[in-house]
Structure 1
Amino acid sequence: MTDYGHDLAFGTFVTPGNRDPHHAVRLAQAAERSGLDLVTFQDHPYNAGFLDTWTLLSYVAAATERVHLAGNVLNLPLRQPAVLARSVASLDLLTGGRVDLGIGAGGFWDAIASLGADRLTPGESVTALSEAIEIIRGIWDAADRRVLRVDGEHHQVAGAKRGPAPAHDVPIWVGAYKPRMLRLVGRQADGWLPSLGYMKDGDLARGNKVIDEAAEEAGRHPAEIRRLLNVQGSITATRDGFLQGPVEQWVDELATLALTDGVGTFVLATDDPTTTAVLGEQIAPAVRELVAAERATAGTAPAATQRGRAAIELRRDGIDYAAVPASLAASAVEPGDRSYDTVRHNYLRSGAPGLVLRPRTADEVADAVRFARTQPVPLGIRSGGHGISGRSTNDGGIVVDLGALDTVEVVDEVTRRVRLGAGATWQQVAETLSPRGWAISSGDYGGVGVGGLATAGGIGLLGRAFGLTIDHVVAAEVVTADGRVVHASADEHPDLLWGLRGAGGNLGVVTWVEVEAMEAGEVVFSQMALDATDTAGLLQRWGATVESAPRELTSFLILSPARRGQGPVAQLMTVWAGDDTDAAVTQLERLADVAPLLGHQAYLLPYSGVVQAAEKNHSGGGDPAVRSALVDHLDEATARAFERVAASGRASFLQARATGGAAHDVPPDATAYAHRHQNFLLSAMSPSQEALDALWDAEIGPVADGLYLSFETDDRPERLTDAFPPATLERLRRVKATWDPENLFRANFPVTPAS
Structure 2
Amino acid sequence: MPDYGHDLRFGSFITPQAARPERAVELARLSEEAGLDLVTFQDHPYQPAFLDTWTLLTWVAARTERIHLSGNVLNLPLRPPAVLARSVASLDLLSGGRVELGLGAGAFWDAVAAMGGRRLTPGQAVDALSEAIDVIRGVWDAGERRPLKAGGAYHRVDGAKRGPAPAHHVPIWLGAYKPRMLRLVGEKADGWLPSLGYATPEDITAGNKIIDEAAAGAGRDPREIRRLLNLMDGFAGGPAGEWVERLLPLVVEDGISTFILAGDDPGAVERLGRELAPALREAVAAERATRGAATGPARPPRALSLRRPGIDYDALPASLADRAVEPGDREYERVRSTYVWPGSPGLVLRPATAAQVAEAVAYARGQDVPLAVRSGGHGISGRSTNDGGIVVDVGALDTVEVLDRGRGLVRVGAGARWGDVAQALTPHGLAISSGDYGDVGVGGLATAGGQGFLARSYGLTLDHVVGADVVLADGRTVRADAGHHPDLFWGLRGAGGNLGVVTSFDIEAAELADVVFAVFVHDASDTAAYLESWGRTVEASPRRLTPFTTIFQGGPGQGPLAQTLAVWAGDDTDEAVAALEPFLEVAPVLRQEARLAPYAAVVAPHRNRHTGQAGGLHGHSALVDHLDAATTGRLAQMFGDGLLGMLQVRSVGGAVNDVDPAATAYAHRTQNFSITGVVLPGAVERAERAWDGLNVTAAYLSFEPHFDDKLLTRVFPPPTLERLRRVKAAYDPGNVFRHNFPITPA
Q: Which residue in the other structure is 2:397 paired with?
A: 405
Q: Which residue in the other structure is 1:245 paired with?
A: 238
Q: Which residue in the other structure is 1:364 paired with?
A: 356
1 CA distance for matches of 2:192 and 2:399?
34
1 CA distance for matches of 2:248 and 2:479?
42
2:552 maps to 1:560: yes
SS of residue paired to 1:154: coil
Gaps of 5+ in 1: 235-241
Q: Which residue in the other structure is 1:137 paired with?
A: 137
Amino acid at match of 1:713: P
Q: Which residue in the other structure is 1:154 paired with?
A: 154
1:407 Cα deviation after fit: 1.9
Contact 1:645 1:696 in 2 (8 A): no
Q: Which residue in the other structure is 1:661 paired with?
A: 654
Q: Which residue in the other structure is 2:703 paired with?
A: 711
1:637 Cα deviation after fit: 1.0
SS of residue paired to 1:132: helix
2 CA distance for matches of 1:313 and 1:502?
40
2:379 maps to 1:383: no
Point out the more displaced range, 694-703 or 517-526. 694-703
Q: Which residue in the other structure is 1:239 paired with?
A: none
2:666 maps to 1:652: no
Structural mapping, 1:518-667, within 5 Å: 518-561=510-553, 564-621=556-613, 622-667=615-660
Selected match of 1:266 from 218, 240, 259: 259
Contact 1:243 1:249 in 2 (8 A): no
CA deviation string 1:146-170 (max 9, x = no partner) = 2222252111223222222222222
CA deviation string 1:705-750 (max 9, x = no partner) = 3111111023112211111111111111111111111001100011
Contact 2:381 2:706 in 1 (8 A): no
SS of residue paired to 2:474: coil
Contact 1:224 1:303 in 2 (8 A): no
TM-score between the two structures when normalised by the length of structure 2: 0.97
Contact 1:475 1:489 in 2 (8 A): yes
Structural mapping, 1:467-482, within 5 Å: 467-482=459-474
1:695 Cα deviation after fit: 2.3
Q: Which residue in the other structure is 2:505 paired with?
A: 513
2 CA distance for matches of 1:716 and 1:328?
35
CA deviation string 1:110-157 (max 9, x = no partner) = 111111111111122122222222222222222222222225211122
CA deviation string 1:187-232 (max 9, x = no partner) = 2222112212210231112222222222222222112111121112
SS of residue paired to 2:736: coil
1:562 Cα deviation after fit: 5.7
2 CA distance for matches of 1:93 and 1:542?
44
2 CA distance for matches of 1:375 and 1:707?
32
1 CA distance for matches of 2:194 and 2:592?
62
Q: Which residue in the other structure is 1:116 paired with?
A: 116
Amino acid at match of 1:617: R
Contact 2:550 2:562 in 1 (8 A): yes
2:386 maps to 1:394: yes
2 CA distance for matches of 1:229 and 1:411?
47
Q: Which residue in the other structure is 1:735 paired with?
A: 727
CA deviation string 1:646-696 (max 9, x = no partner) = 1221222221111111111221111111111111111122255x9436524
1:702 Cα deviation after fit: 3.6
Contact 1:638 1:703 in 2 (8 A): no
SS of residue paired to 1:302: coil
Over the aligned positions, Cα root-mean-square deviation in angstroms equals: 1.8
Q: Which residue in the other structure is 1:20 paired with?
A: 20
Contact 1:132 1:155 in 2 (8 A): yes
1:24 Cα deviation after fit: 1.1
2:310 maps to 1:318: yes
2 CA distance for matches of 1:120 and 1:489?
69
1:564 Cα deviation after fit: 4.7
Gaps of 5+ in 2: none
In structure 2, the CA distance between the partners of 1:472 and 1:697, relative to structure 1 (3 Å rule), is farther
Contact 2:236 2:268 in 1 (8 A): no
TM-score between the two structures when normalised by the length of structure 1: 0.96
SS of residue paired to 1:40: strand
Point out the more displaced range, 695-704 or 139-148. 695-704
2:704 maps to 1:751: no
Q: Which residue in the other structure is 2:4 paired with?
A: 4
SS of residue paired to 1:86: helix
1:596 Cα deviation after fit: 0.8
SS of residue paired to 1:291: helix
1:254 Cα deviation after fit: 2.9
2 CA distance for matches of 1:562 and 1:69?
51
Contact 1:150 1:157 in 2 (8 A): yes
Contact 1:381 1:392 in 2 (8 A): yes
1:376 Cα deviation after fit: 0.6
Selected match of 1:277 from 270, 282, 292: 270
In structure 2, the CA distance between the partners of 1:543 and 1:157, relative to structure 1 (3 Å rule), is same
Contact 1:623 1:687 in 2 (8 A): no
> Percent identity, aligned pairs only?
61
Structural mapping, 1:292-331, within 5 Å: 292-304=285-297, 306-331=298-323
CA deviation string 1:410-449 (max 9, x = no partner) = 2223222222222221111111111222211111111111
2 CA distance for matches of 1:745 and 1:255?
48
Q: Which residue in the other structure is 2:450 paired with?
A: 458
1 CA distance for matches of 2:623 and 2:83?
50
Amino acid at match of 2:452: G
In structure 2, the CA distance between the partners of 1:653 and 1:210, relative to structure 1 (3 Å rule), is farther
Structural mapping, 1:6-85, within 5 Å: 6-85=6-85
Amino acid at match of 1:4: Y
Contact 1:89 1:165 in 2 (8 A): yes
2 CA distance for matches of 1:456 and 1:209?
57
Counting matched residue pairs gives 745
Amino acid at match of 1:682: I
1:457 Cα deviation after fit: 0.8
CA deviation string 1:17-58 (max 9, x = no partner) = 122211111111111111211111111111111111111111
In structure 2, the CA distance between the partners of 1:422 and 1:296, relative to structure 1 (3 Å rule), is farther
1:644 Cα deviation after fit: 1.7
SS of residue paired to 1:197: coil
Contact 1:644 1:699 in 2 (8 A): no
1:704 Cα deviation after fit: 2.3
